[in-house]
Amino acid sequence: MTHSTDSIEFASLLCSRLCHDLLSPVGALNNGLELMADETDPEMRQRCLDLLADSAKTSANKLKFFRLAFGSAGGFGDAVPTHEARVAIEGMFSASGRVKVGWLVEDDMLGKLPVKVLLNLSLIAGDALVRGGQLDIGAERRPGVTEIVVRADGPKLVLDPELRAALSGTLPPEGLASRTAAAWMVRTLVTAAGGDIALSPPGEPVLLFGASLPDRA
């Protein structure tokens, strides 16, 4: 395939991932509206309104996260306020209440690429906490480089081997799918910027991701 075809295929896979993640809360909005149309009991109508409010909040949180994690972060300059990244990450995990987020980022601003990497690694690590747990996120700007560390600790950690391969750069071309597109994107962006990604070995009781990005990123 040509580079243009590869880019179109990747964009299609990433769009499939985003649509999949948004289908549930948007579908709940539709269901809530249908119930409201036929419901006359005040108590049940209030429950429908609560459902609509929760679904709308979840949809907005996901869109805010996706804008920073996969988009161009329009509206910001060369750097993004780290508060925006924190709000986006906490919004993604607040609905379930299963994942507690520890924020260990002291810098007020980070470059767009470090923020994108931080968000995507946090999402992958958080999703690996299938029974909930602690997700700690750290980043530090040092002379010449930005270091990112994401740590997931919980009763059951499951990282899809294909996601691990995508992050480590060993995923074969035929392994690229909607579920691995984001991990493959992060690896590609980091290496293109002259940085690197590190992962804890399989079977470890704690999942650790690390990324280093030179200042030009």
What gap in Å lies between CA 30 and CA 76, rounded to an integer?
A: 33
Say if residues 188 and 171 touch (Cβ distance below 8 Å): no
At residue 5 the predicted structure's pLDDT band, cuts being 50, 70 and 90, is very low
Span 9-42, pLDDT tens digits? 888 888 888 888 888 888 888 888 887 877 778 8
Span 130-158, pLDDT tens digits? 999 999 999 999 999 999 999 999 999 99
Predicted local confidence at residue 2, as pLDDT: 40
The angle subtended at Cα 152 by Cα 71 and Cα 104, nearest 5°, is: 70
At residue 51 the predicted structure's pLDDT band, cuts being 50, 70 and 90, is confident
Span 152-187, pLDDT tens digits? 999 999 999 999 999 999 998 888 999 999 999 999
**For the purposes of burial, counting CB atoms within 10 Å of the CB of 184, is it exposed (0-12), middle (13-18) or buried (19 or more)?**
buried
At residue 1 the predicted structure's pLDDT band, cuts being 50, 70 and 90, is very low
Higher pLDDT, 149 or 3: 149
Say if residues 10 and 180 touch (Cβ distance below 8 Å): no
- In order of 47, 195, 196, the CA distances from 127 in angstroms are 29, 24, 22
Stated pTM of the model: 0.87
Q: What are the structural domains of the chain?
A: 3-214 (3.30.565.10)
- Backbone dihedral region for residue 210 (phi beyond 0: left; psi -120 to 50: alpha; all else: beta): beta
